[in-house]
Each structure stands twice: as structure tokens, then as C-alpha cells.
Amino acid sequence: MLSIKVMVSGGAGYIGSHTVLALLEAGHEVVVLDNLCNASRESLRRVERLTERSLTFVEGDIRDRALLDQLFREHVVSAVIHFAGLKAVGESMEQPLAYYENNVAGTLTLCQAMQAAGVSRLVFSSSATVYGAEAPVPYREETPRGQPSSPYGASKAMVEQLLEDLCYSDSTWSVTLLRYFNPIGAHESGLMGEDPLGLPNNLMPFIAQVAAGRRQRLSIFGDDYPTRDGTCERDYLHVMDLAEGHVKALEHLPSSGVSCYNLGTGRAISVLEMVERFVAVNNVPVPYSFAPRRGGDLPAFWADPGKAHQELEWQARRNLDDMLQDTWRWQKQNPRGYE
Ligand code: NAD
Ligand code: UFG
């Protein structure tokens, strides 16, 4: 595979930094644009250390058109992987305008700058949340988008629509939408991982912080769902598998138009199973108690990852124990994250 020079927006964040590492390891060249609103510059220093390769970092915002124009003038890239955005579902209910501004208006500005610079190949971070509550499981790409349950989900669905319209209007555009399921885990070295600011919203970092003694106990939201053990089921995948999925997507961008892929394992695990397995494989206690359901949670969803397997030759390779051990290694070695 020839080396591709790619701009990675949001490349200092959790999924972005692991993807930048995978891109460099695959021989590609990377320019990261990140405003560091939810990330640390240190993540990219560790990427450089682990890969023994260098990357270009530009601190700035995808909504800053002048900066984007300058970036595309100074760095001739042939594609963009677009992670930058806000991602907390609960926060999006309280601050919908911030989510539409960052995720939708930000993507619009990015696409306008790309068009002006003649860059028309894009991989976009979408989410399983666009399927909505009514979609049959496992989720399949041909199922139409449903009613998103939060402004965050709506912003992802809007961007998918925006990119479809753009490709329809102009055949020089080539876009791949990646719908992630639940990424967890950390790089096998223990040097890189998820570093949420403040109280974690998501299950895995919360479990890790309870195990490390930073939080007293985990609240499991709901024990009366119509699932195997009454707790919600999700399709958790290793962040390095997800990162490798981006490399495949970049290398397999369609010659024209939009492609869409689920990136998940195809297996659903319950919250209770996650906690019990974390305790067993890492030999560390995780006190928990049951709490009322969290608004907006669906009982159970998982991916049919067959299309990504067939067309991208991608498959999740790491198992649940890998995800749980790698999370704990990162948490133990970096109790205060990248600080
Ligand atoms: P993250 O917050 O760690 O990474 C996002 C990065 O974008 C951060 O480094 C942040 O500083 C940067 N950023 C935010 N707004 C920006 C802006 N306006 N300009 C420039 N940089 C900006 O989150 P993540 O978990 O790595 O998620 C990456 C992408 O994947 C997001 O678009 C998210 O919505 C999507 N996604 C995440 C999940 C998940 O569970 N983590 C699931 C589905 C989809
Ligand atoms: N949960 C708890 N306690 C916690 C945190 C979570 O019981 O402290 C439960 C939730 O109720 C849910 C499950 O753990 O049943 C998973 O919750 P997460 O918040 O980790 O993940 P979600 O499935 O809610 O959402 C994630 C991302 C979204 C993305 C979605 C689908 O946060 O951005 O996956 O990809 F849209």
C-alpha cells in the first residue's frame, strides 16, 4: 500500500490518538488538527515514542476556516479522517447548541475548506446511535437511520445526511461513514488510553477508576431490562481494532460516493458481565450497586459487522479479556491519565 498523507481532526483524543498510531505504523503520514478541548498534547508525544515516527501537530479548531485554509495550503494531504467533535450524550441534552455548532457546523466548515483545497476524500466518525430505538438487532447498515435519542445522536445523523448530499451533488467526493459501537480498552503498551475529564460518562472508564480507588463504587443503571441478567447489553470493541478499522477504511475509500460500515464485534455483553469479568481477569475488586435506569439507554444493541469484514477485510481481533486487561494496565500505570 502506498503511503497516504492524511489530516486527522481530533487526533489527540481517545480514538484519534490510537488511530494516528495505527496510521503511522502502517506507513502513512499524519497531520493532526485538535483544539485540545478534551485531550492532551501528551497523547501524541506517546504516539511518537511508541512508533519512533514523527507527526505534525496543529493546535486549532475545525470551525476556524482561515486556519483550515492555511493548513491545507501548508500540508498537501489527500484525505481527512474526521474525529473532532463533542461526544457526551447527557451534556448534549443540556447544551444542544454547543453540539450542533461543534459537530454539524464544524463539519460543514471543514468540508467547505476541503472543497476549496481540492481534498475530497473523507472518513467520518459516526455512531451506532444513528440507528435509533426502533431498529432491529443486530444493526445492519441497510436499515435506515432512526430517531436519535439525543442532540449528540441527531448531530451524527445530520452529518451523515450532509455528507450523503455532498457526494450526490459532486462525484469527486468519496466518503466512508464508520458507525462505531462501544470502543473501550487501551494500547497494549499501557502508555496510551482513555483519559476522560471529570466524572466519566461511560461504563469502562468508570469501572477502571473504581478499581483504582479514585471512585467509591459503580452505579449500574437499571437491573430490570428485558435482557439475560436485567442489565443493558452492548457491543464493546477494542480501541486498537477500531483504529485498525480506520486504516482499512482510508485504504479502501470508494472511488466516488458514500460507503457505510458498522465497526463492532457482533457480540453483546451485559453491564454485569463486564464488571464480573473485569474483576476476574484483573484480580481487583469493583464495588457496585444498582441504581435507577439512565434516561435514553436502550436495553440491548450490537453490530452485524459482516459488511466491514467482506469489503474492508476488517474484523475485530482482540477479545473481551484483552480489552479489560489493557484498560487496567493503562489505568494502573497512569492513575492521573496524561497529567
Ligand atoms: P475525544 O473527546 O477523546 O476526541 C475528540 C477530539 O476532538 C478531542 O481531542 C478534542 O479535543 C477534539 N475536538 C473537539 N472539538 C473540536 C473542534 N471544534 N476542533 C478541533 N478539535 C476538536 O472522543 P473520542 O471518544 O476519541 O471520539 C472521537 C469521535 O468518535 C467523536 O466524533 C465521537 O463522537 C465519535 N464516537 C465516539 C464513541 C465513543 O464511545 N468514544 C462512539 C461513537 C462515536
Ligand atoms: N452504565 C452504567 N454505569 C455507568 C456508566 C454506564 O451502568 O456509570 C451502563 C449504561 O447505562 C449502559 C452501558 O453501561 O447500559 C454502556 O454505557 P456507556 O455510557 O459506556 O455507552 P453507551 O452505549 O451509552 O454509549 C456509547 C457512547 C456513545 C455512542 C454509543 C453507541 O458513549 O457516544 O456508545 O456507539 F453513541
pLDDT, tens digit, 9 for 90 and up, residues 231-244:
999 999 999 999 99
All three cell numbers of 160, joined, read 451523515
Instruction: Give the Cα separation of 242 and 125 in Å (integer).
Output: 11
Amino acid found at 336: R
Percent of the residues in the chain that have a pLDDT greater than 90, as a whole number: 96
Mutate which of 103, 149, 234 for ligand 2 pocket (most atoms within 8 A of beta carbon): 234
Q: Output the CA 73–ligand 2 centroid distance in Å.
A: 40
Ligand 2 centre from 303 Cα, in Å? 15
pLDDT at res. 292 = 98
The pLDDT value given to residue 29: 98
> 319 pLDDT exceeds 90?
yes
Active site residue 14: no
Residue type, 136: P
> What pLDDT does 167 receive?
98
Q: State the architecture of 5-183+237-264 in CATH terms.
A: 3-Layer(aba) Sandwich (3.40)
pLDDT single digits (tens) 254-297: 999 999 999 999 999 999 999 999 999 999 999 999 999 998 89
Q: Distance between CA 322 and CA 339 in Å, rounded?
A: 25
pLDDT of residue 127: 98
Identify residue 228 by its one-letter amino acid code.
R
User: What is the rounded average pLDDT for all residues in the chain?
Assistant: 97
How high is the pLDDT of residue 66?
Answer: 99
Is the pLDDT at 181 greater than 80? The verdict is: yes
Q: What integer is the mean pLDDT of 152-177?
A: 98
Residue 7 backbone phi and psi in degrees, to 5 = -90, 130
Whole-number pLDDT of residue 1: 77
Which ligand has the minimum distance to the alpha carbon of residue 230? 2
Look at residue 256 in the predicted model and tell me its pLDDT: 97
Ligand at minimal distance from the CA of 220 is 2
* Separation between Cα atoms, residue 250 and residue 253, nearest integer Å: 5
Residue 202 Cα, ligand 2 centroid: separation in angstroms?
5
Residue 301 near residue 128 (C-beta atoms within 8 A): yes
